[in-house]
Amino acid sequence: MDQNPRPLPGSTPDEMFPSLTPVQQSRVLAHGRRRKVTAHETLVDFNQQPTKFFVVVEGKLDILRVTDNREELFAVCGLGMFTGEMTVLTGRRGLVRIRAAEASELIEIDREALLALVQTDSELSDIFLHAFILRRVELIARGVGDIVLIGSSHSLDTFRIKEFLTRNYQPYSYVDLERDADVQNLLDQFQVEITELPVMICRRKVVLRNPTNQEIVDCLGFNESIDRTHVRDMIVVGAGPAGLAAAVYGASEGLDVLVIEANAPGGQAGASSKIENYLGFATGISGEELAGNAYTQAQKFGAQMLIAKDARGLACDRRPYALKLDGNERVPARTVVIATGAQYRKLLLENLSRFEGAGVYYGATHLESQFCIGEDVVIVGGGNSAGQAAVFLAQTARHVYVLVRSDNLAKSMSRYLIRRIEETPNIELRTNTEVIALSGNDHLEAINWRNQKTGEVERHKIGALFSMTGAVPNSAWLEGCVVCDDEGFIKTGSDLSKEDLQRAKWPLTRSPYLLETSLPGVFAVGDVRGGNVKRVASAVGEGSIAVSFVHQVLAE
Ligand SMILES: Cc1cc2nc3c(=O)[nH]c(=O)nc-3n(C[C@H](O)[C@H](O)[C@H](O)COP(=O)(O)OP(=O)(O)OC[C@H]3O[C@@H](n4cnc5c(N)ncnc54)[C@H](O)[C@@H]3O)c2cc1C
């Protein structure tokens, strides 16, 4: 059995368990009370929602990992040290047991008081957050938790579950069918057939056979502490960069914010191995790290997050609006920020994801063009974005192949772009052609394509493929509540014509604000919005800007 594949943190115990100074302790005490505990008294139990947070004034606490009713010492919390990790912020069930190692005196504060404290005391906030994150990373590295995943490295569902758990910072142990001789024993123990893999053993009791993300979340109780009945100031749908930005700004400015995310936080950016063009990160930042930081930041400010929950519809006929979830559940909101992004149409190639960001790109900006100066490149697609990319890349690349499945470009591309392509000597159009294979090691090295008419297959040593086959916005779930353009991207602000507003029965004398849809108080940000530039930075910018208009709507 191996531990889940996270890098070891390399943090020292001092960093994970810093001691508060007497002055800092007194600032915590101002929000709580002193409490004396006897030796061996259990203060927080494993698998319970955290309600208290402690600082040790005298004595010490044992932090225990619990597996199959066996306890193992994870850490000792000594003088001036404090308890807690990410579950204190999220309100999810705890991963460890905390027990007094000896008779001790503590400062005890309630979780709500701690959440208020981290929003007002920036010094303590930094100390707590830093320690909580390091502790969670260490728990993940040691596979602490009560989840075992049994699967195969060749199975897409195993990959999905691993990715889901990792992106939700959930520790787990992984047993690989192909590599681990003990698998059969484990399967026998839980009466599972090999054909039922991947299997997740949750809390050592519940056996989930190829569970959906929703089933995983239900078993782990991720969403159980979140109230869904009271009217929120703002509900954000989608926790990609746009939604997370809205959540951070909204919650930090005092709004009662709930985020509804169909999968895991991070959106498309969360899956990006390295984002190199995001301001302030000169050496790039992985999507996972960016999303993780934003997620923690949103929770620090008090935003709550429903994970693995699809918004199925918007009840838009009266205010407050309500987001429709599974099973007729409705969550009411005064304002809504739609940040559900778009799905890039992808080439149906088995190993595509291996080369995404490593030779396969979905945008052709200056950054990507730097990767292929003087090289041959392939562009797949016959729309305007493909045409623009071809003309742009032809300035620096040696040769640009444009591959389309149709007979010509006339139906899909603007005339001026077709002419530019025809006039540019190093652009070559290949019609009736589709990519059939990609190959390479760490990076794309060669592409095979086939002419559908002649059946002829060509293989070219090319390390850059630009997939420009368009994006489909995730807006169908809105069932016509807001006006969209012909491709389904949501129209906002001045893009909404008089006719659009008349058709939508816009009820106010004012025009829609920037980023506001045809429904007052409902905003659209990021990739799902018509006219948006599909970049992490613009998604983050729009998510944060929308919040200032949310304030104005709430004040109306
Ligand atoms: C492979 C790849 C690499 C990229 N690299 C870069 C890069 O290097 N630099 C850059 O600037 N941009 C990059 N981009 C583009 C960038 O990732 C997107 O522009 C950005 O993520 C858009 O953010 P968003 O929040 O609008 O949408 P998304 O990131 O798509 O997030 C939308 C979220 O909404 C959720 N959702 C959808 N429907 C529902 C629903 N009904 N209910 C609840 N939740 C829902 C989704 O699960 C998702 O988490 C890349 C994109 C891809 C695909």
Q: pLDDT tens across 332-357, in order? A: 999 999 999 998 888 999 899 888 87
Q: Report the distance separating Cα 511 and Cα 520, nearest Å.
A: 9
For residue 455, the CA-to-ligand 1 centroid distance in Å is: 36
Q: Report the distance separating Cα 538 and Cα 533, nearest Å.
A: 6
Question: Are the beta carbons of 480 and 376 closer than 8 angstroms?
Answer: no
- Structure-token match 């993780």, residue found: 292
For residue 240, the CA-to-ligand 1 centroid distance in Å is: 5
For residue 351, the CA-to-ligand 1 centroid distance in Å is: 21
Please tell me the predicted confidence (pLDDT) of residue 270: 77
The 10 Å Cβ neighbour count of residue 211 is 22
For residue 263, the CA-to-ligand 1 centroid distance in Å is: 12
The backbone region for 478, taken as left when phi is positive above 0, alpha when psi lies in -120 to 50, beta otherwise, is alpha
Is the pLDDT confidence value at 235 over 80? Answer: yes
Question: Are the beta carbons of 100 and 40 closer than 8 angstroms?
Answer: yes
44: confidence class by pLDDT, cuts 50, 70, 90: very high
Chain segment 275-314, per-residue pLDDT in tens: 777 899 888 888 888 988 999 999 999 999 999 999 999 9
Chain segment 190-199, per-residue pLDDT in tens: 777 878 889 9
For residue 341, the CA-to-ligand 1 centroid distance in Å is: 5
Atom from ligand 1 closest to the CA of residue 344: 53
208: confidence class by pLDDT, cuts 50, 70, 90: very high
E-state strands within 476-546: 522-524
Chain segment 508-524, per-residue pLDDT in tens: 999 999 999 999 999 99
* Rg, the chain, Cα only: 26
Closest residue to atom 8 of ligand 1, CA basis? 275
Nearest Cα neighbor of 152 from 174, 178, 170 is: 178
Q: Report the distance separating Cα 82 and Cα 511, nearest Å.
A: 52
Mean pLDDT of 455-473: 94
5: confidence class by pLDDT, cuts 50, 70, 90: very low
For residue 446, the CA-to-ligand 1 centroid distance in Å is: 28
Select from 272, 515, 538 the residue to mutate for testing ligand 1; criterion: most ligand atoms less than 8 Å from CB.
272
Question: Are the beta carbons of 550 and 250 closer than 8 angstroms?
Answer: yes
Atom from ligand 1 closest to the CA of residue 276: 8
Supply the DSSP symbol for 476: G
Supply the DSSP symbol for 195: G
Structure-token pair, residue 366: 């200056």
Atom from ligand 1 closest to the CA of residue 310: 42
- Structure-token match 């000169």, residue found: 282
Is the pLDDT confidence value at 67 over 60? Answer: yes
12: confidence class by pLDDT, cuts 50, 70, 90: low
Question: Are the beta carbons of 331 and 323 closer than 8 angstroms?
Answer: yes
Please tell me the predicted confidence (pLDDT) of residue 2: 35
Closest residue to atom 26 of ligand 1, CA basis? 526
1: confidence class by pLDDT, cuts 50, 70, 90: very low
424 burial via Cβ count (<10 Å: 0-12, 13-18, 19+): middle
Closest residue to atom 15 of ligand 1, CA basis? 535
Nearest Cα neighbor of 390 from 352, 357, 418, 356 is: 418
Is the pLDDT confidence value at 124 over 60? Answer: yes
Atom from ligand 1 closest to the CA of residue 529: 26
Question: Are the beta carbons of 493 and 290 closer than 8 angstroms?
Answer: no
Mean pLDDT of 312-325: 96
Q: Report the distance separating Cα 402 and Cα 424, nearest Å.
A: 12
Atom from ligand 1 closest to the CA of residue 342: 30
Could you tell me the strand order of the sheet in which 206-209 lies?
Answer: 2-3, 173-176, 147-151, 199-202, 206-209
Q: Which residue has the higher pLDDT, 368 or 106?
A: 106
Atom from ligand 1 closest to the CA of residue 245: 25
Mean pLDDT of 169-176: 85
For residue 285, the CA-to-ligand 1 centroid distance in Å is: 15
Mean pLDDT of 192-216: 87
Pocket of ligand 1 (CB under 6 A): 237-243, 260-263, 267-269, 272, 275-277, 310-311, 339-341, 344, 356-357, 362, 474, 477, 526-527, 534-537, 539
Closest residue to atom 3 of ligand 1, CA basis? 272
Atom from ligand 1 closest to the CA of residue 526: 26
Is the pLDDT confidence value at 8 over 60? Answer: no
Please tell me the predicted confidence (pLDDT) of residue 160: 86
Amino acid identity for residue 362 in this structure: Y
Supply the DSSP symbol for 93: P
Minimum mean pLDDT among 46-50, 185-189, 376-380, 428-432: which range?
185-189
Mean pLDDT of 104-130: 93
Please tell me the predicted confidence (pLDDT) of residue 273: 64
Q: Give how far Cα 484 sits from Cα of 310, 503, 528, Å.
A: 20, 12, 10
Closest residue to atom 38 of ligand 1, CA basis? 340
Please tell me the predicted confidence (pLDDT) of residue 397: 95
Question: Are the beta carbons of 201 and 190 closer than 8 angstroms?
Answer: yes
Residue 186 C-alpha from the chain's centroid: 32
For residue 433, the CA-to-ligand 1 centroid distance in Å is: 29
Ranges 85-94, 158-167, 199-208, 509-518, most confident: 509-518
Please tell me the predicted confidence (pLDDT) of residue 11: 53
Q: How many helices (H) and strands (E) does the chain have?
A: 17, 29
Please tell me the predicted confidence (pLDDT) of residue 269: 81
Please tell me the predicted confidence (pLDDT) of residue 272: 67
Q: What is the pTM of this model?
A: 0.80
E-state strands within 27-172: 33-37, 42-44, 52-58, 61-67, 70-77, 96-100, 104-110, 147-151
Question: Are the beta carbons of 275 and 240 closer than 8 angstroms?
Answer: no
Ranges 6-15, 65-74, 99-108, 139-148, most confident: 99-108
Atom from ligand 1 closest to the CA of residue 265: 49
Select from 536, 542, 544 the residue to mutate for testing ligand 1; criterion: most ligand atoms less than 8 Å from CB.
536
Instruction: Work out the mean pLDDT of the chain and round it to a whole number.
Output: 90
Stretch (H or E) spanning 204: none
Mean pLDDT of 402-425: 92
Could you tell me the strand order of the sheet in which 52-58 lies?
Answer: 33-37, 104-110, 52-58
Please tell me the predicted confidence (pLDDT) of residue 322: 97
Closest residue to atom 30 of ligand 1, CA basis? 341
Q: Report the distance separating Cα 64 and Cα 76, nearest Å.
A: 9
Q: Which residue has the higher pLDDT, 340 or 272?
A: 340
For residue 51, the CA-to-ligand 1 centroid distance in Å is: 34
For residue 295, the CA-to-ligand 1 centroid distance in Å is: 14
For residue 546, the CA-to-ligand 1 centroid distance in Å is: 17
For residue 241, the CA-to-ligand 1 centroid distance in Å is: 7
Q: Report the distance separating Cα 251 and Cα 253, nearest Å.
A: 5
Residue 27 C-alpha from the chain's centroid: 34
Minimum mean pLDDT among 99-113, 127-141, 256-270: which range?
127-141
Closest residue to atom 37 of ligand 1, CA basis? 340
For residue 342, the CA-to-ligand 1 centroid distance in Å is: 7
Is the pLDDT confidence value at 6 over 60? Answer: no
Q: How far apart are the first and last CA of the chain?
A: 58
Residue 158 C-alpha from the chain's centroid: 18
Mean pLDDT of 51-55: 95
503: confidence class by pLDDT, cuts 50, 70, 90: very high
Select from 212, 268, 285, 490 the residue to mutate for testing ligand 1; criterion: most ligand atoms less than 8 Å from CB.
268
